[in-house]
Chain A
């Protein structure tokens, strides 16, 4: 490792521009003639549009155009689709309702887009939007997924009877039932995984530019995958053919999944630009983001886990209702199925598993992948169940886990996944040592003397990154391949540009990707640039989500670097009159091994472009591309332990200590990895303690639509995390890396909740464990509770 090579703690190249306000985000883009837009949105959760009258609004100052869903349909713009086909158990395809970018006759959630108003200024567009008259006939609504399935529930889409999108199963139900029937002990849990709002720092935005001279469209947008956006907008939404549509995702201020999907706004801005003849910009305000960004999680699950007389797990049965909201977002069907039930084996040897998932429509914002996507839901139910089982069986939770760990790899689980590497015990031991697990009883006693309830909880997670291979995901219903591309261009002066299909929106690719090049060619970091986020510059790529940019994106770069290296060595061998096999690259030079003969990297590059003296038959130039399709997922895993203190008077939880012991395979930049874990754990703690998304069940209004009501974790809410890593290499990618972007958010929530339930000695607790929820659980021990939804409970109480 050089000072800038693999394994080095290189400071992030991109941070200077981010922290000095020099980042260039979509909303910073200004083009000649650009106008502003505001969307008129439904104030109702479910209603028929009776009449739209924009006559007065159109005459208001600065108004350029007000466009509606009928016009959009007239111009042939297609429905927004879900790109992953799921078949129900009975073989029928999922029941997908129509999602119009601008609603035509029915609105299905508060925030559903109805009209776009384009005006000279944003304020004028707002004024005119307020003057648009939309008459609605309100319909019955349902916001809770279990209630949406009930007989007589309001019907949201005609295509989905009883709001059921699919009823899907994975695993062997019969074998699982049999295993459970023979079990010596069964632990049963009702688990709610709370709905979350992603809250990227930068709100979504789009700038649509239509050039009528060229009949060409440009779209600046807050996307995690501009190429996928272009593909989908051209192939399915009929906005423009790919060669006439350029999508640019410049600096993007966080995504967490919410910027994977193609939303109505970017489609409508592009279309409106052609219709009105001006470039059209839209930037969400914060409440618009709360209302319309795809939310995360929102599962209700029944779990049964069976153990034999020796406490070995014999079977696991899971029945989940997943709330997909009012429309199916791009990957919404994959998240609660193949990204969820496939992880139900966790770190454990479980001979029989069956997972059933019913996905339903409700009158709420669409739900899709959010940091972790499916794996946090699987991990939360498994790890709460393991902890609960240990308490019921009277054994140490760490030992129950240890006893059931998978120890031999590769390991085929009953739910598709084939774990190829791991050592779960190493992480467990590291975490237990770091938190001084053995000393907990003493600390608990000391806390008691201060009137505090101390608790400890753990979570052993495994997740799957770099979703792959393309052929396999295709057979499971994916509408796209999940490879990645890279191109490495060595310029004539030896500087290097790496064009990647991955997209960086906080991950630090400009640094880590450059480290690969520095390591390989010994060139300085400063001579390497990473180019991404523009479909006109970069070859087709699949973007960034599911912690895939390391395992898949960097592997593509490695493949391209291999090709560059091969050609560079050929050129050097020719220049040095040596054998190609004897050329070594070191410190920016190509050397003949064992001699003092060498040619500097830049001179070799210049040679490639002057082409005055190349080997016979060699093409000039030095530029290579590669596509990389992984052989398998990668499987990061680890053990998180959390220690909390609860104030019994107020129910406030303070996280005293949080230990994360992760196995991410090889690590390119430890500092960036730590940052990813910090952020992920913070988000997981946010989910566990703070973030509750509540729709009023009667009106369908989002009650937590701003930071006045939606609590995000703050620095003061978090302890100094104690991190450590161990390495089992991923056997199938060239770097032996697994990915680290989501682990923190996946592994942490159950550790936190297990710690609290341990502290208060009551397992009847749902996320978010707000002070009120913890206080209620503490003072309501043994109390019955038929509805696990805190909000529902609150409403019923308030009504009494």
Chain B
């Protein structure tokens, strides 16, 4: 790790201010992505602005139909939250499948979304749940938020403060893990909204990061069952190909995981 200056922010404004005055600052939440990268000397921020001591940025609230999760909420907290387990059980389950206990106790939803790793789990859920990403400046629809591999709509110095979404009729998540890293090699979040519309978020597979599989959405909207997907095929041309999985294999996995997500939806 290169030398870096550590700052502990106590408010969003202070965090933004420190960030603005830094040469090359970075926000620090759980550090589960940023710190390993720094240790490998692949990232070298001049200043680290720790967000985890800012009050009011973590926790889950379920208010009627609306679910809101603070940006600093850890994967563990999301996994364990009782109200969320009722309102959106698949999301709570999903959080419990991220990394290992150490990662889940430190890593945050805000950090995961800001990072937008093409194999991260949350982005698929946010797309499928048609969520809104709240920042210290504005609200961004999930459809507009994820703009490519490790790319988001966030501007310099913008902080994810929360995400919110309307609870859905049914949803399910299934993840085929990369055998080595255990990140998603194909992760599919399937959600059926209360108005009957369906959204499918796919992570781990796309060449350009998380994406929606619209063909499946249409098929499932008219028939919410795994069988409805028999006639759908994922176009492998936009999928990643690496030593672990060819694009064709990933295409197969996306279909299989979608079927399983629909079957397990609750």
Q: B180 contacts A772, CB within 8 Å? A: no
Give every chain B residue within 8 A of A31 (Cβ-Cβ): none
Q: Is B10 interfacial (CB 8 A cutoff)?
A: no
Whether the Cβ atoms of B181 and A709 lie closer than 8 Å is yes
Given contacts A649-B256, A650-B256, A798-B241, contact A707 B180 (CB under 8 A): yes
Residues 755 to 778 of chain A near chain B (Cβ within 8 Å): 770-772, 775-776
**Are A694 and B243 within 8 A (Cβ)?**
yes
Within 8 Å CB of B242, what residues of A? 794
- Complex CA distance for A776 and B253, rounded to whole angstroms: 12
B243 engages A775 (CB within 8 Å): no
Q: How far is the CB of A675 from chain B (nearest CB, A)?
A: 25
Cβ–Cβ < 8 Å partners of B241 in chain A: 794, 797-798
Q: Let me know if B5 is at the binding interface, CB within 8 A.
A: no
Given the known interface contacts A797-B241, A798-B241, the answer about A772 and B181 at a Cβ–Cβ threshold of 8 Å is: no
Q: Do A798 and B246 have beta carbons less than 8 Å apart?
A: yes
Interface SS majority for chain B: loop
Closest A residue to B1 by beta carbon equals A123
A650 contacts B243, C-beta separation under 8 Å: no
Indicate if the CB atoms of B246 and A650 lie closer than 8 Å. no
Report whether B243 and A794 are in contact in the complex, using a CB–CB cutoff of 8 Å: yes
With A794-B241, A794-B243 known to touch, is A775 a contact of B249 (CB < 8 Å)? yes
Residues of chain B lying within 8 A (CB to CB) of residue A650: 176, 252-253, 256
- Determine whether the beta carbon of B249 is less than 8 Å from that of A126: no
Query: Which of chain B's residues has its CB closest to A714's CB?
Result: B182
Is B243 a contact of A711 with CB atoms below 8 Å?
no
Which of A707, A775, A797 has the most chain B CB within a 10 Å cutoff? A775
B98 CB to nearest chain A CB (Å): 15
What residues on A are CB-neighbors of B248 within 8 Å?
Answer: 797
Asked, given contacts A708-B180, A708-B181, whether A772 binds B41 with beta carbons under 8 Å apart, the answer is no
- The verdict on A692 contacting B243 (CB below 8 Å), with A772-B249, A775-B249, A776-B249 known, is yes
Instruction: Take A650-B256, A775-B249, A776-B249 as given contacts and tell me if A770 and B244 are in contact as well, using a CB distance cutoff of 8 Å.
Output: yes
> A136 interface residue, CB < 8 Å from B?
no
Chain A: CB-nearest residue to B40: A287
- Choose one: B2, B180, B246, B253; the contact of A709 (CB below 8 Å): B180
B245 interfacial by beta-carbon distance below 8 Å: yes
Q: How far is the CA of A127 from the CA of B180 in the complex (A)?
A: 30
Q: Is residue A703 within 8 Å, beta carbon to beta carbon, of the partner chain?
A: yes
Which residues of B sit under 8 angstroms from A711, Cβ to Cβ? 179-180
Chain A positions 570-591 with a Cβ under 8 Å from a chain B Cβ: none
B179 touches A770 (CB 8 A): yes
Cβ-defined partner of A791 (8 Å) among B2, B180, B243, B245? B243
Chain A residues 708 to 764 lying within 8 A of chain B, measured CB to CB, are 708-711
Number of A interface residues in the complex (CB < 8 A):
26
Please measure, in the bound complex, the distance between the C-alpha atom of A749 and the C-alpha atom of B26, giving whole angstroms. Answer: 47
CB-based nearest B residue for A775: B249
**A770 neighbours in B (Cβ, 8 Å):** 179, 244
Residue with the highest number of chain B CB atoms closer than 10 Å, among A770, A772, A775: A772
Residue of B nearest to A708 (CB): B181
Total cross-chain contacts (CB, 8 A): 50
- Residues in B with CB closer than 8 Å to A794 are 241-243, 246
A106 at the interface (CB under 8 A from B): no
Q: How far is the CB of A280 from chain B (nearest CB, A)?
A: 22
Judged by a CB distance under 8 angstroms, whether A428 is at the interface is: no
CB-CB under 8 A from A651, the residues of chain B are 249
A690 on the interface (CB 8 Å rule)?
yes
From B2, B179, B181, B246, contact of A690 by CB (8 A): B179
Asked, given contacts A649-B256, A770-B179, A775-B249, whether A709 binds B243 with beta carbons under 8 Å apart, the answer is yes
The contact string, 1 if C-beta is below 8 Å from chain A, for chain B 228-266, is: 000000000000011111101100110010000000000
CB proximity of A47 to chain B, nearest CB, Å: 23
Which of B41, B181, B245 meets A126, CB within 8 Å?
B41
- Verify B244–A772 contact, CB threshold 8 A: yes
B250: nearest residue on chain A (CB-CB)?
A772
Q: How many residues of B contact A (CB 8 A)?
A: 18
Chain B residues positioned under 8 Å from A692 (CB to CB): 243
Minimal Cβ-Cβ distance residue in A for B176: A650
Complex contact B180–A710 (CB within 8 A): yes
| Alpha-carbon distance A630/B127, docked complex (angstroms) | 68
What is the CA–CA distance of A127 and B256 in the complex, to the nearest angstrom?
Answer: 48
CB distance from B151 to the nearest CB of A (A): 20
The CA of A692 and the CA of B241, in the complex, are separated in Å by 16
Report the Cα distance A711→B252, complex, angstroms: 22
Would you call A704 an interface residue if the criterion is a C-beta within 8 Å of the partner chain's C-beta atoms? yes
User: What 0/1 readout, one digit per residue, does chain B (15-54) give for beta carbons within 8 Å of chain A?
Assistant: 0000000000000000000000000010000000000000
Cβ-defined contact, B244 with A709, below 8 A: yes
Which residues of chain B from 156 to 187 have any CB-CB distance to chain A below 8 Å in the complex? 176, 179-181
Complex Cα spacing A130 to B249, Å: 39
| CB-CB nearest in chain B for A704 | B243
Chain B residues 164-213 with CB under 8 Å of chain A are: 176, 179-181
Known: A770-B244, A797-B246, A798-B246. A775 touches B252 (CB 8 A): yes
How close is A739's CB to chain B, nearest CB, in angstroms?
A: 32
Q: Mark A662-697, 1 if CB is under 8 A from B, else 0.
A: 000000000000000000000000000010101000
| C-alpha gap A794/B249 in the complex (Å) | 11
C-alpha spacing A794/B248, complex, angstroms: 11
State A797–B237 Cα separation when bound (angstroms): 12
Q: Which of B1, B2, B246, B256 contacts A772 (CB 8 A)?
A: B246
CB-nearest residue of chain A relative to B241?
Answer: A798
Say yes or no: A772-B176 contact (C-beta < 8 A), given A649-B256, A707-B181, A709-B181: no
Q: Report how far A709 CA is from B185 CA in the complex, Å.
A: 12
Determine how close the nearest CB of chain A comes to the CB of B253; give it in whole angstroms: 6
Closest chain B CB from A199 CB (angstroms): 12
A residues near B245, Cβ cutoff 8 Å: 772
Alpha-carbon distance between A650 and B248 when the two chains are bound, in angstroms: 12
A25 and B35 alpha carbons, distance in the complex (Å) = 26
A649 to B258, CA, bound (A): 12
Using Cβ atoms and an 8 Å threshold, which residues of chain B touch A123? 1
Q: Within the assembled complex, what's the spacing in Å between the Cα atoms of A130 and B2?
A: 12
Shortest C-beta distance, B261 to chain A (Å), equals 13
B150 vs chain A, min Cβ distance (A): 15
Question: Nearest-CB distance from B45 to chain A (Å)?
Answer: 16
Smallest CB–CB gap between A686 and chain B, Å?
11
Residue of A650, A704, A798 ringed by the most chain B CB atoms within 10 A: A650
A709 / chain B contacts, CB cutoff of 8 Å = 180-181, 243-244
Kindly state the separation between the CA atoms of A508 and B241 in the bound complex, as whole angstroms. 44
Q: Mark A83-97, 1 if CB is under 8 A from B, else 0.
A: 000000000000000
Bound together, the chains give a CA A35 to CA B119 distance in angstroms of 41
Against B, the Cβ 8 Å flags (1 = close, 0 = not) of A772-795 are 100110000000000000010010
Q: Which residue of B lies closest to A651 (CB)?
A: B249
Which residues of chain B are near A710, meaning CB under 8 Å?
180
Least CB distance from B172 to A in Å reads 16
Q: Which residues of B contact A798 (CB under 8 A)?
A: 241, 246
- A283 to chain B minimum Cβ distance, whole angstroms, is 15
| A542, B18: Cα distance in complex, Å | 61
Residue of B nearest to A285 (CB): B40
Give the CA-CA distance A651 to B186 in the complex, in Å.
Answer: 14
Task: Identify the closest chain A residue to B252 (Cβ).
Answer: A775
CB closest chain-B residue, reference A287: B40
Q: Which of B1, B41, B180, B181 has the most CB of A within 10 A?
A: B180
**A713 → chain B, closest Cβ, in Å?**
10
Additional A-B contact list (5), CB under 8 Å, known A690-B179, A797-B248 = A127-B2, A707-B181, A709-B243, A710-B180, A711-B180
Q: Which 8 A-B pairs have the closest CB atoms?
A: A711-B180, A708-B181, A649-B256, A711-B179, A772-B249, A798-B241, A709-B180, A772-B245
- Complex A-B: 18 CB contacts under 8 Å: A650-B176, A650-B252, A650-B253, A651-B249, A690-B179, A694-B243, A704-B243, A708-B181, A709-B243, A711-B179, A711-B180, A770-B179, A770-B244, A771-B176, A772-B249, A775-B252, A791-B243, A794-B243
Residues of chain A whose beta carbon lies under 8 Å from any beta carbon of chain B: 123, 126-127, 130, 649-651, 690, 692, 694, 703-704, 707-711, 770-772, 775-776, 791, 794, 797-798
